[in-house]
A and B are shown apart, each in its own frame.
Chain A
Amino acid sequence: QKEVEQNSGPLSVPEGAIASLNCTYSDRGSQSFFWYRQYSGKSPELIMSIYSNGDKEDGRFTAQLNKASQYVSLLIRDSQPSDSATYLCAVARTGAGSYQLTFGKGTKLSVIP
Chain B
Amino acid sequence: NAGVTQTPKFQVLKTGQSMTLQCAQDMNHNSMYWYRQDPGMGLRLIYYSASEGTTDKGEVPNGYNVSRLNKREFSLRLESAAPSQTSVYFCATRQGTSGSYNEQFFGPGTRLTVL
Q: Answer yes or no: A88 CB below 8 A from chain B CBs.
A: yes
Q: Which of B104, B107, B109 contacts A101 (CB 8 A)?
A: B104
Residue of B nearest to A94 (CB): B99
- Hey, which chain B residues are within 8 Å of A103, CB to CB? 42-44
What is the predominant secondary structure among interface residues of chain B facing chain A?
loop
Chain B contributes a number of interface residues (CB within 8 A of A) equal to: 28
Q: How far is the CA of A44 from the CA of B97 in the complex (A)?
A: 21
Which residues of chain A from 17 to 51 have a CB within 8 Å of any chain B CB? 31-32, 34, 36, 42-46, 49, 51
Q: Which of B40, B54, B94, B106 contacts A99 (CB 8 A)?
A: B94
Q: Which of B41, B48, B99, B108 contacts A100 (CB 8 A)?
A: B48
Q: How far is the CA of A94 from the CA of B102 in the complex (A)?
A: 11
Which residues of chain A from 44 to 76 have a CB within 8 Å of any chain B CB? 44-46, 49, 51
- Hey, which chain B residues are within 8 Å of A44, CB to CB? 43, 90, 106
Q: Are A101 and B45 in contact (CB under 8 A)?
A: yes
Which residues of chain B from 88 to 105 have a CB within 8 Å of any chain A CB? 90, 94, 96-105
Most buried by A among B42, B44, B58, B107: B42
Q: Knowing A43-B106, A94-B99, say if A100 contacts B45 (CB, 8 Å).
A: yes
Using a CB–CB distance below 8 Å, which chain B residues touch chain A? 31, 40-45, 48, 50, 54, 56, 58, 90, 94, 96-109
